[in-house]
Structure 1
Amino acid sequence: MTESLVAGDVVRDERVVPNASWSGVVAAGEVLTIVDVGGNQSADCLIYNAHDPDERYSVPDTLAWQGNAYVRTGTVLRSNEGRALMTVVANEIDRQDTIGGACGKESNTLRYGHHVMFHHGCRENFLSEGAKHGLGVRDLVSNLNWFMNVPVEPDGALGIVDGMSGPGKRVAVRAEMDVLVVVSNCPQMNNPCNDFNPTPLQMIVVRREREE
């Protein structure tokens, strides 16, 4: 198994198969490393204040505070109250996406035709996993897409294209408060976000070693 990007005592180390979901509370100071096991696999992600899920990850607040459309090392992931939820402390690819959104049955049918109308997507994974924590449809907001490549073209257009990640690439995010993290291992097979071949993810949570 791949190791965490950040040293510490391992709290959780779990593999997420394609088309499955994962969730867990990451305590303040702990670090979550997400591993792209097979390469070019999108990990859709939502983040909530573990004690008050009405406070949750906000794309506009995150982008406005940093003045950049991409998530990179040092990006502070902000809540809808402007507070720091998590910080990207290490990142093995150039940039991460937070503007491409999440797939779902309805959007897949609209984009790819009725032959996929029964294929569920990240939206359905979010609902299923979130229900374990009392979350529902009203709690679904715009999400992060770890390892997905969504370039912003000079004319402002967006594209979902072949990823920049590879087997074993990692991103590590530190919790700035107790947070609930919900991740969908994206089942999308109709665009290049998963290289048309969904593969596993690995989720590693560590408690940081105390500095001397």
Structure 2
Amino acid sequence: MMNAWDYETEIAPGGHWSLRLRRGTEMQLTDVAGNANLGMLFYNPENLLERYNAPDTLKCQHTFKLTQGHCLYSDMGRIFASIVEDSLGWHETVCGNSHAEHVAAQWGGRDYQADRNDWHQNGHDAFLVELAKYGLGAADMAANINWFSRVATDTSGNLRLLQNHSPAGSNLKLRFEMDTLVLLHACPHPLSQASAYPRSPVRIALGRADPVAEDDVCLNHCEENRRGFRNNTLYHLGR
């Protein structure tokens, strides 16, 4: 970091938020109590049709997980953000969101009118609330990232969520490579089998990132990432 954090906040369990971040911003995410899940989506605020593309992000970097050195790509081949630090080593972007039916079946139905802040929100509806603030809806929801969550496959290809993957204090840092509309929620992972509705908050800190150096871990992770950074350079030259 060039400076101390300029802004800090905490996302309560089941909470959601959205904000526009400028190119050159660094975001630190911290799992405060352990075993959190933080869903996240990215959009280009100047062209909301451009959004995070999970398949391209994984394919072009020859990976199934996300960790330090990986970049997070748009469907236009540009890099929204880079993972410059990661204490955990594994985050997933293939499982999507929890839905109201899953949450009700697993932990019982609770609504805000009756239960206030103890209600059971789900990831899909949380994203819908944030999308609506920008004139977007369900058709605009892409496959999301689930920070602090790890999945594994069995011999038949079925996915399961690994329990107790993220200890308290686990954190990562994102460096934003272009102006980005960020949507996030702290709702349960869709494969969670926890006995009680998860109650793990996530701390968010924002500040200015160091410039991208020639020996940058994300830039040099693979040739595809170098190409992605060049795509960003061309994009910013044309603005």
How far is 1:148 from its partner?
0.9
Q: 1:35-64 CA distances to partner (integer Å, 9 max, x unpaired)?
A: 111111000111111211211111111011
Q: 1:45 aligns with which of 37, 40, 44?
A: 40
Which residue type is aligned with residue 131 of structure 1?
A
Give the match for residue 160 of structure 2.
159
1:180 is the counterpart of 2:181: yes
Alignment of 1:119-138 (within 5 A): 119-138=120-139
Classify 1:59/1:149 alpha carbon distance in 2 versus 1 (closer, same or farther; 3 Å): same
**The structure with more radius of gyration:** 2
Determine if contact 1:127/1:137 at 8 Å carries over to the other structure. Answer: yes
TM-score by structure 1 length?
A: 0.85
- In structure 1, stretches of 5+ residues that fail to align are 1-5
Determine if contact 1:40/1:193 at 8 Å carries over to the other structure. Answer: no
Which residue type is aligned with residue 208 of structure 2?
R
Distance 1:16 1:117 in 2: 19
Aligned length: 204
- In structure 2, stretches of 5+ residues that fail to align are 112-119, 213-239
Classify 1:193/1:149 alpha carbon distance in 2 versus 1 (closer, same or farther; 3 Å): farther
Give the match for residue 205 of structure 2.
204
How far is 1:198 from its partner?
1.6
Give the match for residue 25 of structure 1.
20
Distance 2:152 2:188 in 1: 21
Which residue type is aligned with residue 34 of structure 2?
G
Give the match for residue 15 of structure 1.
10
Classify 1:67/1:117 alpha carbon distance in 2 versus 1 (closer, same or farther; 3 Å): farther
Distance 2:16 2:107 in 1: 25
Distance 2:196 2:97 in 1: 16
Identity %, equivalent residues: 28
Q: 1:89 aligns with which of 81, 84, 92?
A: 84
Give the match for residue 105 of structure 1.
100
Distance 2:39 2:196 in 1: 15
Which residue type is aligned with residue 83 of structure 1?
R
How far is 1:193 from its partner?
6.8
Q: 1:40-94 CA distances to partner (integer Å, 9 max, x unpaired)?
A: 1000111111211211111111011111110011111011112111111100102
Q: 1:36 aligns with which of 22, 25, 31?
A: 31
Determine helix, strand or coil for the equivalent of 2:6. strand
Which residue type is aligned with residue 172 of structure 1?
K
Determine if contact 1:48/1:181 at 8 Å carries over to the other structure. Answer: yes
Classify 1:164/1:29 alpha carbon distance in 2 versus 1 (closer, same or farther; 3 Å): same
Q: 1:118-161 CA distances to partner (integer Å, 9 max, x unpaired)?
A: 65401111111222232221211110000012123455331112
TM-score by structure 2 length?
A: 0.76
Classify 1:120/1:28 alpha carbon distance in 2 versus 1 (closer, same or farther; 3 Å): same
Task: Please give the root-mean-square deviation of Cα atoms over the aligned residues, in Å.
Answer: 2.6
Mean Cα displacement is larger for which, 152-161 or 72-81?
152-161
